[in-house]
Chains A and B, each alone.
Chain A
Amino acid sequence: MKNNTPVKSFISRELSYIALRTTGLLLAVLALGHFLITHITNDVAETDSNFVIHRWSSTIWVVWDVLLLTSALIHAFAGLAVVVHDYSKNPKSRVRTLRLLSIFVMFLLITGLMVMAVSLYRIYGTGA
C-alpha cells in the first residue's frame, strides 16, 4: 500500500492469482461441505473417532480431505502473500515474512498429510 517496490518472489504473480482463485472455488465446495457434514447434518458431539473411521472407509472422503487440506493451505499462503505485500513496508522484511510463512504452511501440510497416512495405516494397513 505504501511501498510498491516489486519484490522478486519464488512464484509469479500470475500463478499466484490463478492459484488463489481456483483453490478458492474448490474450497467453496470442499470447506463448506466439510462444515456441513461435521456440524449441520451430524451433531458435532457425534463426530468422534468412530465417525472419522467410518468416513475414511470410503475413498471419496479420503480424497476429499486430502484435497481440502492441500487447497486450503495453498489458498491461505497465496492470500497471506497478498496481505504481506499490502502491509509490509520494506522489501527485505516482506521476503523474510513470506519465507517464515511458507515454512509454517509447509509444516502444516506435511503434518496433515502424515497424520492422514499414519491414521489410515493404523486403521486399515494391518491387514484387518
Chain B
Amino acid sequence: MTTIQICFLLLLSLSFIIILGFIYKVWKVALFADGGPKPSISRLAKLGRLPAERAEISRWAAYLHRVSGFAIFAFLSLHIIDVSTFAFSHSAFDELHKIYATWPMRLFECGLLFALVFHALNGIRLIFADLFDVGIRKSNILLRALLVISIVTTLGGSYIILQPVLN
C-alpha cells in the first residue's frame, strides 16, 4: 500500500459515509411523508407494503432514483480527483488504478453498473411519461420492465467484471 492508494481508500470511505447519510435523510423524509417523524413497526410495514396497489412501486423508484443519482455523483467527484493524478505522473495514475482491479472494488463496480443502468432507464421513463402523458398504469408497466432489464444487465455485466477474480 502506497500513500496515494491509502488517500484514495480514505476518500472512498468518506464517500460511502456521505452516501449512507444521504440514504438516512431520504429514509427520514419518507417516514415523515408517510405519517410521522419516528420509525415504528407499523410505519415500517406501511413503507414496505406490496406494490400491488396505489402505485407504491413508483414511489420506491423515486427513492432509488434519488439515491442512485447521489451515489453516482459521489463516485464521480472521487473519480475526477483520482484521475487528476494522470496530469502529474502516469506512474502514480497506474499505481492508483491498480485498486480498481481488486475484488472489493470490482464488487463496487457491479453496484455502480446497477446504479447507472437503473438511473438511466428510469430517467428515460420519466421523460417518456412527461412527453407522451402515458399515465400511471402504463408507466408502472414500463417501470417493472426496466427493473427486470437493469437486474439482468447487472448480472451479465457482473459476470464479465468479476471474471478475472472468479478464475
A residues with CB within 8 A of B? 1-2, 21, 24-25, 27-28, 31-32, 35, 39-40, 43-45, 47-49, 52, 69, 72-73, 76, 79-80, 83, 86-87, 104, 108, 111-112, 114-115, 118-119, 122
Contacts and interface: CB of A to CB of B under 8 A. Distances in A.
A36 to B, nearest CB: 9
Contacts of B77: 104, 108
Nearest to B131: A21
Contacts of A80: 70, 73
Interface residues on B, range: 35 or more
B80 A25 contact: no
Task: Please classify the interface of chain A as helix (H, G, I), strand (E, B), loop, or mixed, using the class held by over half of its residues.
Answer: helix
Contacts, number: 92
B124 A28 contact: yes
Shortest beta-carbon contacts, A-B, top 5: A45-B101, A49-B90, A118-B87, A28-B120, A76-B73
B124 A40 contact: no
A40 B86 contact: no
Contact of A31 (B29, B100, B116, B157): B116
Task: Please classify the interface of chain B as helix (H, G, I), strand (E, B), loop, or mixed, using the class held by over half of its residues.
Answer: helix
Which has the most chain A C-beta neighbours within 10 Å: B25, B87, B163?
Answer: B87
Given A43-B164, A108-B80, A24 B116 contact: no
A86 B29 contact: yes
A25 B127 contact: yes
Interface in B122-136: 123-124, 127, 130
B161 interface: yes
Contacts of B32: 2
Interface in B17-53: 25, 29, 32-33
B58 to A, nearest CB: 16
Given A1-B29, A25-B127, A108-B76, 7 more contacts: A27-B120, A47-B97, A69-B80, A73-B76, A108-B80, A111-B80, A111-B81
Contact of B100 (A44, A79, A111): A44
Nearest to B106: A44
A40 B160 contact: yes
A49 B87 contact: no
Contacts of B164: 43, 45
A39 B105 CA distance: 12
Nearest to B77: A108
B84 interface: yes
A92 to B, nearest CB: 19
Contacts of B86: 49, 52, 115, 119
Nearest to A65: B83
Contacts of B66: 83
5 contacts: A45-B101, A76-B73, A111-B81, A115-B86, A122-B87
